[in-house]
Amino acid sequence: MSHSAATSTAVPAVGMAVTASALHVTRGKVPVLRGLDFSIQAGRITGLLGPSGSGKTTLMRAIMGVQVLTSGSVQVLGQPAGHPDLRHRVGYVTQSPSVYPDLTVEANVRYFGAMHRKGRAEAAEAIAAVGLEPQARQKTGDLSGGQLSRVSLACALVARPSVLVLDEPTVGLDPVLRADLWDRFRSMAEAGTTLLVSSHVMEEASHCGSLLLLREGKLLAQLTPAELSQRGHSADLEKAFLHIIQDAAKTPGGSPEKTVRS
């Protein structure tokens, strides 16, 4: 897998790429996000961590502007989430790969690239970035699950977005590929791209510059991995997170502890 720094149209690594204020989302009759306030710093990897059902995907959908908000607001690169000006600047990779199975890897990536006025060179770079050069001419429908999710990622990378939102991008990948992908994310952040990456795997939190910890639709904390370890009294980030969750459960009314800003 190539680790060349991505040339993106990223905003300078100052200021905030995403800001949510008093964000409430109800899906069906279920209050899923319950009053979130946070900012995501530009040019950094922010991890979105929380148990299954805590609202991670819903929050990512809100940031992409594809989720109806009950109240509150989400701003992305200074525009309301979903604003047409953000179309070429914000990329989203969902949990289920959305690619054309009858097309080759290369054709898929070139197709998505064309939507963002990108050509052959950018497609080749995106394919190399996810380690799929050997499969470039293969029909996407014949690939393994992990390869398929990497095609989906390449289809987002080809646009060279300033903000990249990734829903569990490392699921189904072996440890070597996972490490390669995190290296890739790191070099993208160094080049100025803002990444928001969700994961169930607390071990992956250590790759992030900042963490948003969600539980039952509330923000338990925003902090660095080192702060998580310190506050959760364990070098094992999974144990530290559990500790913080247990502390929050003891708080009267089940309200989260005071949010730590990193």
Considering CB under 6 A, how many residues would be counted as binding ligand ATP?
Answer: 13
Q: What are phi and psi of 26, to 5 degrees?
A: -115, 130
**Min separation Cβ 41 and ligand ATP, Å:** 22
Per-residue binder mask for ligand ATP (CB under 6 A), 96-135, x = binder: ----------------------------------------
**Min separation Cβ 186 and ligand ATP, Å:** 23
172 binds ligand ATP (CB under 6 A): no
32 binds ligand ATP (CB under 6 A): yes
**Min separation Cβ 173 and ligand ATP, Å:** 17
Burial class for 23, CB neighbours closer than 10 Å (0-12, 13-18, 19+) = buried
Residues 34-53 that bind ligand ATP (CB under 6 A): 50, 52-53
57 binds ligand ATP (CB under 6 A): yes
- Work out which of 7, 15, 30, 246 binds ligand ATP, going by CB under 6 A: 30
Judge contact between 171 and 201, C-beta under 8 A: no
Tell me the C-alpha distance between 223 and 213, whole Å.
Answer: 8
Judge contact between 257 and 248, C-beta under 8 A: yes
| Pairing relationship of beta strands 210-215 and 79-80 according to DSSP bridges | unpaired
- Work out which of 42, 44, 46, 58 binds ligand ATP, going by CB under 6 A: 58
55 binds ligand ATP (CB under 6 A): yes
Residue 181 per-residue DSSP state: H
Tell me the C-alpha distance between 34 and 20, whole Å.
Answer: 12
- Work out which of 28, 84, 175, 253 binds ligand ATP, going by CB under 6 A: 28
Helix axes 145-157, 175-190, angle to 10 degrees: 10
Judge contact between 50 and 108, C-beta under 8 A: no
Amino acid at site 206: S
54 binds ligand ATP (CB under 6 A): yes
Residues in touch with ligand ATP (CB under 6 A): 27-28, 30, 32, 50, 52-58, 200
